[in-house]
Amino acid sequence: MRTPFIAGNWKMNKTISEGEQFIDSLGDLPAEDEVESAICAPFIHLPSLLEKAQHLNLGIGAENAHYEDSGAFTGEVSAAMLGDLGVDYVIIGHSERREHFNETDGTVNKKTHAVLDKNMIPIVCVGESDAEREAGDHASVVESQIEKAFDGIPAESAGKVVVAYEPIWAIGTGKSATSEDANEMCGVIRKKVASLYGNETAAAVRIQYGGSVKPANIGEYMGQEHIDGALVGGASLEPEDFMALLEGAKR
């Protein structure tokens, strides 16, 4: 049985003091065997969040990483630096980074390798656009993203990867895929992983849904066979909402 996993993605929000206040305002988090949880935050937050969360059942993640350990890449932060800091998770290939910062399937693959090599867990984002869904290409687009993201990843590492299915048309728009549609696509992802690594690895990979997830609808998604949690944007910015998401994710 896969443990549910809720990850908040703060995106470019909160000052350091606001982030610290968020952690201080959290109530009693569920036990690790009930729901795993994480906050993924801008780089400047990570040291203080790691210190604040060290005695909590709360992972801390970055929203991006560079695949090179070091070099002339002004403004970038490497997976090596994040691993040394003690970060638990790294979001890779979010649609906003693909759209605004030229992230490609190739760089997603390099970053997945780098994050795994530094003993962190990648949260690999995949998802189709509205036009791709309307054209009926949504399954093939996501299958291709999965195949390229996992290229060269050995089976013993592949099972550690978290996949976040985020249909682009449902991120920050107020729209959301129905729980049935989301489950269907998460099933497509699991089947693709199975074709690459076999059923045992596919059964181990946790697949989150992301796209306008809220406390009011988290239960619908968690009731589906292939949905193991959520990658949540706006609804992760308030402690009360985040706690409600964790409660809603309990199976």
Binding site, by residue number, is 9-11, 172, 212, 233-234
Q: How far apart are CA 84 and CA 115, in angstroms?
A: 11
Q: Write down the catalytic residue from 36, 63, 132, 166.
A: 166
CB burial readout 189-209, b (16+ within 10 A) else e: bbebbeeebeeebbeebbbbb
The answer to whether 220 and 203 have CB atoms below 8 angstroms apart is no
Phi-psi region of 41 (alpha: psi -120 to 50; beta: other; left: phi over 0): beta
Q: Write down the catalytic residue from 45, 63, 66, 94.
A: 94
Q: Which residue has the tokens 């489950």?
A: 183
Active site residue 166: yes
| Binding-site annotation: residue ranges for substrate | 9-11, 172, 212, 233-234
Residues with catalytic function:
94, 166
